[in-house]
Amino acid sequence: MILLAPSILSADFGNLNKDIEMINQSEADWFHVDIMDGVFVPNISFGFPILEALNKKASKFKDVHLMIAHADEYIQTFKKLGADSLTVHYEACLHLNRTIQAIKSEGLKAGVALNPHSNIHLLDDIIEELDLVLIMSVNPGFGGQKFIENTYKKIANTKDLIIQKNSSARIQVDGGVNINNIKKLADTGADVLVAGSAIFNSENPLETIKSFKSLAV
Ligand X SMILES: O=C(CO)[C@@H](O)[C@H](O)COP(=O)(O)O
Residues in the annotated binding site for a divalent metal cation = 32, 34, 65, 174
* Minimum CB–partner distance for residue 131 and Co ion (Å): 16
What residue numbers does the annotated binding site cover? 7, 32, 34, 65, 141-144, 174-176, 196-197
The identity of residue 146, as a single letter, is: K
Selected range binding ligand X among 95-103, 152-160, 189-197, 206-214, rule: CB under 6 A: 189-197
Q: CA–CA distance from 82 to each of 67, 95, 104 (Å)?
A: 18, 24, 15
Nearer to ligand X, 14 or 107 (CB): 14
Distance between CA atoms of residues 153 and 40, nearest Å: 26
Burial pattern 109-136, b for ≥16 Cβ within 10 A else e, equals bbbbbbbeebebeebeebbebbbbbbbb
Mask of contacts with ligand X, 141-160, x by CB under 6 A? Answer: xxxxx---------------
Among 62, 65, 154, 213, binds Co ion (CB under 5 A): 65
Contact with ligand X (CB under 6 A) among 86, 108, 155, 175: 175
Which amino acid is located at 109 in the chain?
Answer: K
